[in-house]
Amino acid sequence: MEGFTHLIPFAAGHEIIRQEIKQLTLIRMTPDLIYDQLIGAGCAKKLIFSWGGNPGVGSLHRFRDAIEQGYPFPLEVEEHTHAGMAAAYQAGAANLPFAILRGYVGVDLPSVNSRIRWVCCPYTGETLATVPALRPDVAVIHAQRADRRGNVLIDGIVGIQKECAYASAKTLVTVEEIVEDLRPGCVNAVILPAWTISAISVVPGGARPSYARGYYDRSNAFYIEWDTISRDRHRFQEWMRENVLQPASNL
Amino acid sequence: MIETAPEILFSRLEMMQVTASRRLTNEDICIVGIGEPSVACNLARLTHAPDIKLIYESGTLDTKPDILPLSIGDGVLCDNALTTVSLPEMFQYWLQAGRISVGFLGGAQIDRFANLNTSVIGSYHQPKVRLPGAGGAPEISTGCERVFIIMEMSSKKFVEKLDFRTTLGFGDGGNHRTELGIRTKGPLAVITDLCVLEPEAETNELVVVSLHPGVELEQVSDSCGWDVRFCHDLVKTPPPTDLELEVLRNLKARTETAHRGGNSK
């Protein structure tokens, strides 16, 4: 499930929680509130990530509780830097076994993540870091719109969604609306052709409390409020019952 | 919190933000972290460096937000940017390729050689506190020509030994950074709410070069977890000007109103 602080597929994540799909290996550069909810709901076995906080607010408390206290389940982590993860998705999309980058130099991450390794450049002799390609079984993304043929448009902060979609065996997309003509809204629009997409579902507001540029704004107030809701296990469960588990009151 | 300087009242936090903003120039291309770095960089843009190019790691190039973003990817950053690029382009064509002159970083812990920890307090596998992790910082610190660190000073944060080295400063000190094959300069200053520290020539150990108005030597020593040294020609940091304070306070007031209203635009 990707979306770098924009177009985060909350509605799709909530459906995973309602269907009680468990033992998932979750991959996401910035786990954000949606993975905090999936982890707190007990859906996750492992997390591959590069920055696990509530942006501008502080901690992801359910993520912390799982790592620090093993609640509701212990969470295995595979941790990278943003640069490493972006490169790993790109390698996956390009059908390469690994990605090369100038990164991870002089720091402790390679000592706790044995999947970060090194190669010697065959041309210059320079030592470069490698990370294995990410090849998820399923990519879940939220997009602004699709046309009737199933072509998908994302604009604004386009993040890593194209690489994530092309790296994955299947790609599921929720969209704000279906339109006759995609009418690129912004000069940096990314179009994912229909034949690269497995399924599309129309879910207006499917990224809330994140945002969809051109449709609605990020609810910064909710991101701040989440700190209080998620801090306490019972308050979190109560919130999930009222806002996620009872389908009628979908966010 | 309030300091008395000639005719102007300001907080230590404001002193830190203003001092940090002064390190930036009009020619800089700066990658901005959320929080204090974002305050300092936008203050610079709204005062002495109107042409500075601010880049947030969400891919927004040359952005001019009218309020401070809460997250790295708020809509306000994208709508006010020259263009927005994908994350592989951000980290490879911009950061890794050396197209960014200044990086601004913060952290939960810093050591005497300006290495940073944003990963864990306690052991990695059984942490007392799990922090967010690396994000873009390790490659910002090695990819940008210069790095500035902005952090409030306390002995909990300025530690003898990091629990985890998330981001490289000068490593074990001396030439360690260059021996690792890194060609960029690394952290050139650590700006705190009490003073400014800079790496000493040759050892690359952080020493205090400037004390903020109203701050005593002892306060700095007590707020540092290692036996911090003061440089011979220690100076007093110039206090914020009326203009700097006015711009800073207006920016914060606009931001506060927008965030509490749940609207990022």
Summarize pLDDT for B51-99 with one digit per residue, the tens.
Answer: 999 999 999 999 999 899 888 778 888 888 999 999 999 999 999 999 9
- Check: CB of residue B210 under 8 Å from CB of residue B238: no
B218 is catalytic: no
- Cβ-based neighbours of B230, under 8 Å, separated by 6 or more: B207, B208, B217, B220
Task: Give SS3 for B254.
Answer: helix
Residue B2 has pLDDT above 60, yes or no: no
User: In this predicted structure, what is the pLDDT of residue B77?
Assistant: 87
* Distances B193 to B93, B121, B147 between C-alpha atoms, Å: 35, 23, 18
B1-24 mean pLDDT: 82
Residue B5 has pLDDT above 80, yes or no: no
- Check: CB of residue B10 under 8 Å from CB of residue B248: no
Q: Which two tokens stand for residue B232?
A: 């011979």
| CA dist., res. B261 & res. B205, Å (int) | 45
Residue A124: its chain B contacts at CB < 8 A?
Answer: none
Residue B211 has pLDDT above 90, yes or no: yes
Looking at the DSSP assignment, which residues form a beta bridge with residue A147?
A179
Quickly list DSSP for B192-247. Answer: -SSEEEEEPTTT--EEEEEE-TT--HHHHHHT-SS--EEEEEEEEPPPPPHHHHHH
- Check: CB of residue B36 under 8 Å from CB of residue B17: yes
Three-state SS letters, A91-158: HHHCCCCEEEECCCCCCCHHHHCCCCEEEECCCCCCEEEEEECCCCCEEEEEEEEEECCCCEEECCCC
> Is B175 an 8 Å CB contact of chain A?
no
Three-state SS letters, B151-201: CCCCCCCECCCCCCCCECCCCCCCCHHHHCCCCCCEEEEEECCCEEEEECC
Ranges of H-type helices in chain A? 10-18, 32-40, 61-69, 82-93, 109-112, 161-167, 220-231, 233-240
DSSP 8-state assignment for residue A59 = E
User: In this predicted structure, what is the pLDDT of residue A248?
Assistant: 57
User: In this predicted structure, what is the pLDDT of residue A251?
Assistant: 47
Q: Which listed residue (B57, B139, B205, B244) is catalytic?
A: B57
| CA dist., res. A229 & res. A240, Å (int) | 10
Residue found by looking up tokens 């700095």 in the block: B220
User: In this predicted structure, what is the pLDDT of residue B76?
Assistant: 85
* B77, B142, B258: residue with CB nearest A105: B142
* A81, A90, A112: residue with CB nearest B138: A81
pLDDT band at B258; cut points 50, 70, 90:
confident
Domains, chain B: 3-260 (3.40.1080.10)
Please return the burial class of B121, using the count of CB atoms within 10 Å of its CB with bins 0-12, 13-18 and 19+.
Answer: middle
Whether residue A109 and residue B34 make contact (CB cut-off 8 A), yes or no, is no
Q: How many residues does chain A have?
A: 251
| Nearest CA distance, A70 vs chain B (angstrom) | 10
Whether residue A81 and residue B134 make contact (CB cut-off 8 A), yes or no, is yes
B204-209 mean pLDDT: 98
User: In this predicted structure, what is the pLDDT of residue B259?
Assistant: 79
**Residue spans of chain A under pLDDT 70:** 184-186, 247-251
Q: Which two tokens stand for residue A144?
A: 């602004």
User: In this predicted structure, what is the pLDDT of residue A250?
Assistant: 47
Whether residue B130 and residue A162 make contact (CB cut-off 8 A), yes or no, is no
Whether residue B86 and residue A103 make contact (CB cut-off 8 A), yes or no, is no
| CA dist., res. B178 & res. B141, Å (int) | 13
| Nearest CA distance, B73 vs chain A (angstrom) | 5
DSSP 8-state assignment for residue B51 = T
| CA dist., res. B189 & res. A249, Å (int) | 51
| Nearest CA distance, A88 vs chain B (angstrom) | 10
A64 backbone φψ class: left, alpha, beta (φ>0; ψ -120 to 50)? alpha
User: In this predicted structure, what is the pLDDT of residue B264?
Assistant: 41
Residue A187: its chain B contacts at CB < 8 A?
Answer: 83
Whether residue B75 and residue A59 make contact (CB cut-off 8 A), yes or no, is no
**Taking CA atoms, what residue in A is nearest to B132?**
A52
Residue A211: its chain B contacts at CB < 8 A?
Answer: 75, 264
| Nearest CA distance, B23 vs chain A (angstrom) | 23
| Nearest CA distance, B11 vs chain A (angstrom) | 21
Whether residue B96 and residue A101 make contact (CB cut-off 8 A), yes or no, is yes
Whether residue A6 and residue B88 make contact (CB cut-off 8 A), yes or no, is no
* B71, B87, B138: residue with CB nearest A103: B138
* A101, A102, A107: residue with CB nearest B166: A107
Interface test with A, best of B34, B39, B71 (most A CBs within 10 A): B71
Residue B90: its chain A contacts at CB < 8 A?
Answer: 86
- Check: CB of residue A1 under 8 Å from CB of residue A34: yes
> Is B121 an 8 Å CB contact of chain A?
no
Whether residue B167 and residue A79 make contact (CB cut-off 8 A), yes or no, is no
Whether residue A220 and residue B138 make contact (CB cut-off 8 A), yes or no, is no
pLDDT band at B3; cut points 50, 70, 90:
low
